[in-house]
Every structure is written in C-alpha cells, then in structure tokens.
C-alpha cells in the first residue's frame, strides 16, 4: 500500500514537472521570438529616427516629397507693356533751351550735333554711342510728331543729365487741364505684346515704328 502511494506521488510530481517545463519553454520562446518590428509599428505610433527625433518628412522638391512650386509665370507682353509706357518717360526730361522739334532745322541740328560731340557722349563705349544716336533720332521724330499735334516736346540726352541742371519737365509746362491729352498724344493707348499696334501708340509709337523697332513692344 505504501509503495502504491509513493508511486502515485512520484507520477504526480513528474507530471507537474513536465507542465512547468512546458510553460517555461513557451515563455522562453516568446522572449526569443518577439513580434517583428514592422508588425508592431503597423498598429502603433511611428518609430523614432536614430537621432531621437520624429521620422523626417521628405524634403520639399525631391522625388519623395511634394513637388516644388513653379516660379510665377510672366504674363505675355507684361514686360513689353511696361517698356512701352516707360520708354518716353525715360527720355522726356526736357531741355527748354534745346531742341523742341526735330533735328531737321539748322538750329536743332546744331544742338543735336553738339550733344553727339560732347565729352560725355564721346566717353561712352562704341556700342553705347550707337544706342545714343538711335535714341536721339527716335526722340527727334517724336518731337516732330508732337509739334504737329500742337505740343512742344523737349528732351535732354540721358548722358548729359549728370552734368546739366535738370530743366522743368515738358509736361509740367502745360496747364493741368491739358496734360492728360498731351500724354495720350505721346503714348497713345495701345496694349503690349500681341495687342501692341504702333498706330495706337501715339507719337512715341510712330517714332519707334519709323526706327524699325516695333518688335521691342
């Protein structure tokens, strides 16, 4: 009887030992084989970068990030329109003692010739001198056109402005009530780019056309 009891206790102890070993093995297996990182991340918050900060977003403008915004496009004709409107202004500073029409008269021709012989002009590089001669011719054509419309359009070469006391602007010699009409006579109301028509661009447009520079607008 005692032998049977001892045998039963031994068997029970063996069974308990086996169960303990089995449970221990499962725990060890779980420790040695954790859930893969990518599976855990799928359900949890994003992993941290090696530096300790959050994962960096792709740089803007790269293939992995948001495409860089394009530079604002220049509207067709915008620059040309500005040039057409400003070109007369850049040259309309008058010299009331100088030419008021074209260089066709002997007096005006002498004034223009004096400008082209002045030290300020001859000191310019050859290409700038060529531009200066073209500028003078354009301005004298403009002045002749304005004279036909009843306005005295005077101007001073840009290369003389640093050494000459600037006179009153030609437009400022007119009564305020006439200035709008004078500006319209000079610049017209043409658009720029494809909308530019020299016939609608006033005396300045006519002068530019005569000089063969319509494509500049």
Q: Read out DSSP for 120-179? A: HHHTS-HHHHHHHHHHHHHHHHHHHHHHHTT-------GGGTTTS-----GGGGS-HHHH
Between CA 211 and CA 134 the distance in angstroms is 8
pLDDT at 1: 56
Mean pLDDT by groups of 10 residues along the chain of 217 residues: 52 54 46 36 33 28 31 30 40 38 57 86 94 93 94 88 75 92 94 88 94 78
Q: Please provide the size of the chain in residues.
A: 217
pLDDT at 160: 83
pLDDT at 195: 87
* Contact call for residues 169 and 155 (beta carbons, < 8 A): no
Tokens standing for residue 161:
């402005």
C-alpha pair distances (Å), 147 with each of 95, 140, 153, 176, 189: 16, 10, 7, 19, 19
Q: Is residue 69 helix, strand or coil?
A: coil
Between CA 187 and CA 161 the distance in angstroms is 23
Between CA 111 and CA 124 the distance in angstroms is 19
Per-domain boundaries in the chain: 80-216
Tokens standing for residue 52:
């300790």
Tokens 């509207």 appear where?
75
């Amino acid at each position: 009887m005692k032998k049977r009891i001892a045998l039963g206790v031994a068997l029970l102890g063996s069974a308990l030992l086996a169960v303990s070993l089995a449970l221990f093995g499962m725990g060890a297996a779980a420790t040695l084989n954790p859930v893969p990182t990518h599976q855990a991340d799928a359900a949890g918050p994003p992993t941290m970068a090696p530096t300790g900060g959050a994962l960096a977003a792709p740089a803007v403008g790269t293939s992995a990030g948001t495409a860089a915004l394009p530079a604002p496009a220049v509207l067709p004709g915008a620059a040309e329109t500005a040039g057409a409107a400003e070109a007369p202004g850049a040259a309309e500073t008058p010299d009331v003692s100088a030419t008021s029409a074209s260089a066709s008269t002997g007096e005006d021709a002498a004034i223009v010739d004096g400008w082209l012989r002045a030290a300020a002009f001859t000191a310019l590089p050859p290409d700038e001198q060529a531009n200066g001669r073209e500028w003078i011719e354009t301005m004298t054509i403009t002045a002749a056109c304005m004279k036909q419309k009843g306005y005295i359009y005077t101007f001073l070469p840009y290369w003389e402005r640093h050494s000459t006391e600037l006179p009153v602007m030609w437009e400022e010699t007119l009564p305020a009530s006439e200035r709008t009409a004078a500006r319209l006579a000079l610049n017209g109301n043409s658009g720029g780019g494809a909308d530019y028509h020299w016939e609608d661009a006033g005396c300045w447009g006519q002068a530019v056309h005569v000089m063969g520079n319509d494509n500049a607008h």
